[in-house]
Structure 1
Amino acid sequence: MEKILIIDDEPFIRENVERILGEDGYQVLAAADGTTASELVSAEEVDLVLLDLNLGKENGLDVLKELKKIEPELLVIVITGYGSVESAVASLKLGAFHYMKKPFKADALRVIVKLALQTTSLKREVRAIRQGALELFEKVPLVGVNSSLKEIIRQAREVARFAEATVLITGESGTGKELIAKSIHHLSDRREAPFIEINCASIPVNLLESELFGHEKGAFTDASARKTGLFEAANKGTIFLDEIGEMDPAMQAKLLRVLESRQIRRVGGTRNIDVDVRVISATNRNLGDAIKSGQFREDLFYRLNVFPIRIPPLRERREDIPVLAAFYLDKYSRAFSRGFHEISGEAKALLSGYNWPGNIRELKNVIEKICIINQGPTLTASHLPPEISGAPTRSARAELPDVETLGLEGAVEAFELEIIRAALDKCGGNVLKTAELLKIPRGTLRYKMGKLGIQP
């Protein structure tokens, strides 16, 4: 139920708005002044505010500024009986959604409130799309013919039916644990809500709690405004905790409380907030060993491991290697206009015989590099790197991209892409460790990855 706050110094207006919107099923809160309004916005999860610009001795614009400090994304509709172009423009510049003049009809109020709340929902949906949260299941490339993959897909379909069940996905780095997590989400009744992922190893320990659970204004030095955490953002949907085995023990205890109570508390907050979220976690570590060494809580393991799914490494399902190679060859050949249409028999045999320590991620990177620096129509053994083809290692000069074809800038980008890909593989996709290996700031690495279209 959406929560709406009416701020007006006239009791009749407050009561009228409460009646009209209450009949439509909204929960309506009321305040006669800015101080009361600020207290309510700080204490409650308000979805929309109706604010009178003339609150007796108070200026509604000052109240609007204060509310925006408390909740920067708060949706506010300004209402007044003394409207002017100047006050309308001023309120819109401060972030008001719309401007209404008194007296207003009940139907007009209903329409603008409904539109405003739909806008809030749309904004959340756009953010989710930007995070890849609403990627269609049909676009998740669960490619292969191996019986173990078919069993994993069957398990994903089965657990998707139970919206509360936690899932623990295990497997080596690069095996596709995130794809299985997305598949479970898109097959479930939660598919219309956000799928939000976080790499637990990539966030510093002192920031992870705020990232997951949010914080209140003033909770710490840089907390200039309230922040919604990822658990709240994923409400009604799914949160994917990748590399859960790297989580700090103190943070493990807090996560355990959330799983047990289905409630979170923001950093610096005093009240619990209900969340309805499916938790899917993943790790490439042996959590049994981590429990024995005291690095992972046994009680948390049992909470996470309600439905375990193990993804085998690529070397255990070799019949899928040519299928995956053909999938990525088609994808990147189209992306780079390289005209590849097939893989030679010799190249297929070499690809299938290689052990792929980096699993699917490594295979994808190899095919992507081939499409960047070569032209089709057939991928042959000569296109494969020496560790796969068995050919002697070529000189650094021979390994450089084709400058004549790509130009200097394109060749530099191709070479940089190769270096970053190799470093990510070495670090198991961990961005923080990769940045340390490359001796560059993490922000610089993320910028380059975004520019080059690299996914960790």
Structure 2
Amino acid sequence: MHSHTLSLFASGKTGKDWMDSVLPALWVELCTEFGLHCGVVVLKAEGEDSFYESASFGYGEDGFYYSFLNRGSVHWETLMTSKEPVSFPGVEFPVFGKNTNAIGIRIHAKESVGFLLVELEGKPSFSVLALLVLFAEKIGTEWERANFIHSPASQVPVSLDGAHRFFRDEISNLETAVSEFRENRIVSIFGAAGTGKKSLAKWIHQSQNPDAPILVVESLPDHFGKFEKAIFEWGKEANVGSLVFTNVQSFSLGQQQILVDWWSKSGYKGSLFLLGPTEFGQEILPEFKQLLERNSIFLPSLRLLPKGSFVRIIQSIFQELCRTQNRLGLVLSPQAEKELSGRVYQENFVELRNRILSGILTCRTQTVEVSDLEVGKVRMDLEIPDAEDLDLRRGIEALERQKILLAMRIFSGNQIRMAKALGISRGSLQYKMKQLGLM
């Protein structure tokens, strides 16, 4: 075995350091030493239920995606549950080489966390196969160390709710409003774009009635008759749970009257949330205004928060996004933190979160600097809308954006490999990326 390969095997690095710096180089060395045509190591992402390409050899710049190993397929399940190497003959499966056969070996660490797959002409010798099995065991050991060794306290993931928790501390009448909500089953939440009105409504719902359903209505039928039927059905769907109406400032006078009448006469036993901006630019029925004012909360813009609270929010969002992007080792430089906390965000949480996410996706070191934040000029929401959100178009766009961003991370921006994995042409991928503001 080549001396450089031996030196990599003898590396004193462990856990995440070994996974990041030793594994990719050692995989190339091993594949070369064994005379393999190509090979890939696929591993579960840290803290996520997704898999990524950790190391590869021999596929060239365009790469290759094994479609028969799609997540959840029969062959995926076979490979991820087999204690023995699994053969994928080239005459039966669409492998990369023209005259090669593929061998897959599960990587295990208390559970199946990935696999390595190699292609070669003919069959592997017993010694090569045994070394690959041992190497899969080594990867599993280091993966487990990387995922179960505790991070420094400053890098412990914080739930995104932590950011909203800091924000909720700045809402002066929140406790009173929640107390009245328990009795009256209604609350109106007003605030500028992106201040978390929907997030606060869901938090109140969860804190008061966690086992009940919640339904969010983003838009209304223009026809009054259809709206009357729809609101009756929404009430039945929400049952004793919560019905949330967003953008109430856009309700016409007729829609306002229908909602007032339904709330007072329908016998609906659930709760009602009405969300809108701090100021309305149109006429409001007196009855609808009374409904809005019955129990109301006004959310401050981020620029009005005390500096200490704002910095804690920034750090909470940063840590959560690092976790979702499988980059727990990242830190936010003091200069970048100062840059983020000194800006005015017209879309508040949405704009702040997208800017931080942009920095995390752009960063090529372990520290997010001010320069990494400069590309944050597009909307890059990763989250799929909640199941109770009825806006189908927005849901489809969010899902497409999430999958494309995941492919960008897995394949380091290589559009040919991304397109193959996503099952679309490169031209379609570029069109969608432009449409979604990702390029």
TM-score by length of 2: 0.48
TM-score by length of 1: 0.46
